[in-house]
């Protein structure tokens, strides 16, 4: 619900929800000596090294495409420090917790656990996951349907919550919400549709058709949702979801964050220097917001 509030005022009603967690090869993890994904960074990295020993030098443990910000953002959300500061007018990426996230992220490439590659260099994610080129993959609930449809029947896989520095970690919430404009001449019909789409039974049906997860907690009791083993981990992950800053510049900020992160992975920045550079770029993007706050024109 927090993602649908602006200045503590509800502006929309959630329709469906999603977040990202880990899809992994259960067979390869078991061959490496693990029954489940460890839920802290140190344990997870040990498991990844064990998987790497099983699959061999020409394969990897985890896929972290260098042109995708979602994985680093997930690591960055594990700290207590906010990603922006001063009423969301300046970056806070130089905080100790985000630098720790950068260090962990970089180490996965430095130690040969993740390929230094963008998504454009991966010919087919499903094929590469099936053949074990990587064993851990960050994605959302839509991937459940993709894997069911595209992976060979014998491929063994499961979902797991995101590991954090010392225990189960957070991730960013996503999804879609429903809004009725105050100026709409069809208020009654619009609200009728909103109420219909919000019914637990309809949300459960919608999940079966599209794979999107219900926003209504009661809809998770429907057999098609409750009995799906791949969905179970999403329930726990959504309970740990942490909203990102609600500023219009956010998408540009995380895009710049990932540009700098790629340069860090390629050796141009240390984690501390990368954090300072991300802050510098975020501050530039937030310059207008700072001015508006100073003039009393923004909240």
CA angle 19–203–169, rounded 5-degree value: 20
The per-residue pLDDT for 2 is 67
The per-residue pLDDT for 8 is 76
pLDDT tens-place string over residues 210-251: 999 999 999 999 999 999 999 999 999 999 999 999 999 999
- Cα separation, 267 vs 271, in Å, equals 10
- Angle, in degrees to the nearest 10, between helices 250-265 and 96-110: 50
- Cα separation, 171 vs 16, in Å, equals 16
Residue whose entry in the numeric block shows the structure tokens 């130089």: 94
- Cα separation, 122 vs 226, in Å, equals 33
Concatenated DSSP letters of 65-107: -TT--HHHHHHHTTSSS-SEETTTTEE-TTSHHHHHHHHHHHH
Write the CA distances from 55 to 132, 135, 271, integer angstroms: 7, 9, 29
User: Residue 219: which of 200, 192, 202 has the closest Cα?
Assistant: 200
- Cα separation, 166 vs 80, in Å, equals 13
Q: How confident is the model at residue 62 (pLDDT cuts 50, 70, 90)?
A: very high
The per-residue pLDDT for 246 is 92
The per-residue pLDDT for 36 is 98
Joined tokens for residue 264:
């860090």
Burial class of 25 by CB neighbour count within 10 A (0 to 12, 13 to 18, 19+): buried
The per-residue pLDDT for 296 is 82
Domains of the chain plus CATH, in order, are: 18-166+246-294 (3.40.190.10), 186-228 (no CATH)
pLDDT of 299 strictly over 80: no
pLDDT tens-place string over residues 6-60: 777 888 899 999 999 999 999 999 999 999 999 999 999 999 999 999 999 999 9
């Amino acid at each position: 619900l927090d993602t649908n509030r602006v200045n503590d005022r509800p502006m929309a009603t959630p329709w469906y929800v999603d977040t990202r967690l880990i899809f992994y090869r259960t067979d390869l993890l078991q061959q490496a000596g693990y029954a489940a994904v460890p839920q802290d960074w140190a344990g997870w990295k040990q498991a990844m090294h064990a998987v790497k020993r099983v699959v061999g030098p020409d394969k990897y443990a985890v896929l972290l495409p260098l042109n995708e910000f979602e994985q680093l953002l997930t690591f960055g959300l594990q700290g207590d420090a906010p990603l922006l500061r001063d009423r969301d007018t300046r970056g806070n990426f130089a905080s100790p917790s985000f630098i720790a996230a950068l260090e962990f992220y970089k180490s996965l490439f430095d130690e040969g656990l993740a390929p230094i590659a963008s998504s454009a260099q991966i010919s087919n994610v499903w094929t590469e996951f099936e053949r074990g080129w990587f064993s851990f993959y960050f994605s959302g609930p839509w991937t459940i349907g993709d894997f069911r449809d595209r992976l060979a029947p014998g491929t063994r896989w499961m979902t797991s919550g995101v590991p954090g520095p010392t225990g189960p970690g957070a991730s960013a919430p996503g999804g879609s919400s429903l809004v009725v404009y105050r100026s709409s001449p069809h208020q009654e019909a619009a609200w009728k549709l909103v109420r219909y789409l919000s019914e637990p039974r309809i949300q459960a049906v919608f999940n079966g058709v599209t794979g999107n997860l219900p926003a209504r907690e009661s809809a998770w009791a429907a057999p098609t949702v409750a009995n799906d083993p791949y969905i179970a981990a999403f329930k726990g992950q959504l309970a740990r979801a942490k909203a990102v800053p609600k500023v219009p510049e956010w998408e540009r900020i995380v895009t710049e964050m990932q540009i700098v992160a790629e340069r860090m992975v390629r050796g141009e920045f240390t984690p501390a220097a990368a954090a300072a550079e991300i802050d510098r770029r975020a501050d530039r993007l937030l310059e207008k917001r700072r001015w508006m706050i100073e003039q009393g024109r923004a909240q």
